[in-house]
Amino acid sequence: MFEWLTSPEAWIALGTLTALEIVLGIDNIIFISILVGRLPENQRAYARRMGLGLAMIARLALLFSISWVMGLTEPWVTVFGYEISGRDIILVGGGLFLIAKATHEIHNSLEGVEERGAHVVVSGLGMVLLQIAVLDIVFSLDSVITAVGLVDEVTLMAIAIILAVLVMLVAAKTIGDFVDGHPTIKILALSFLILVGVTLMVEGFGVHVPKGYIYFAMAFSVTVEILNLRMRKRQAEPVKLYKKISKKHDV
């Protein structure tokens, strides 16, 4: 079972798989951060840990029931000559849910619901965790299938999943606070979720979309937005300095 410990190739595979699981978990962190941001401050840390814990449990459960997961790729029904598998149904359903949720959050942000003093708890802790659990399964499905395609050792895959979730657990609060503190970043993150939702739906209809294009688009957009944030900060500095000087003269 642990023969791989003495194999350099296995350690390389473990590092590669862990990095891949972290990358595949970025959209999961964004989704959790958005939902957790709707809760009171004293519940956010708990909900964040529970959400990532559910993500790890979902991935491990799917991993150890891999024969069932791979069975989902087999056609279940044929409609107008098009074969539909269980994986297709899960991806299309998850994509629709993600698009609807992200669109709803964008609508609330643009309409200024939060600024007008709407109650912070939209669905309650239980409902937030339920939504996280549903999307964890969708995100985990492709993650586990990808892992199986890379390595054959179940132990390696399980360790990679646990390590990736631990890394995400450390980074989740920082990412969540950054998203909450910058409204434009939040809109960008929600737009990413719509993009991921569309990708899931397209994949569900049998059209493969290389993930590299999606992650490159995300990275490019984030880079541009960070440059915008720095520019806005520099533009605001002279205004703050002018106000400070004006206050001194008034005194």
Does residue 117 carry a pLDDT above 50? no
pLDDT at 246: 63
Please give the residue that has the higher pLDDT: either 246 or 164: 164
Radius of gyration of the chain (CA): 21
For residue range 34-56, list pLDDT tens digits in order: 788 778 878 888 888 888 888 88
Least confident of 26-40, 57-71, 140-154, 216-230: 140-154
Q: How far apart are CA 146 and CA 247, in angstroms?
A: 60
For residue range 124-162, list pLDDT tens digits in order: 778 888 888 877 777 777 667 666 655 556 777 788 888
The DSSP-derived string for 156-176 is: HHHHHHHHHHHHHHHHHHHHH
Least confident of 30-34, 148-152, 210-214: 148-152
Does residue 189 carry a pLDDT above 60? yes
pLDDT at 69: 66
Mean pLDDT, the chain, rounded, equals 76
Q: How far apart are CA 121 and CA 128, in angstroms?
A: 10
Q: What are the φ/ψ torsions at residue 9 (nearest 5 degrees)? A: -60, -35
Does residue 121 carry a pLDDT above 50? no
Which residues have C-beta within 8 Å of that of residue 116, sequence separation ≥ 6? none
Does residue 6 carry a pLDDT above 60? yes
Provide the residue type at 241 as one letter.
L
Which whole number is the average pLDDT over 189-206? 84
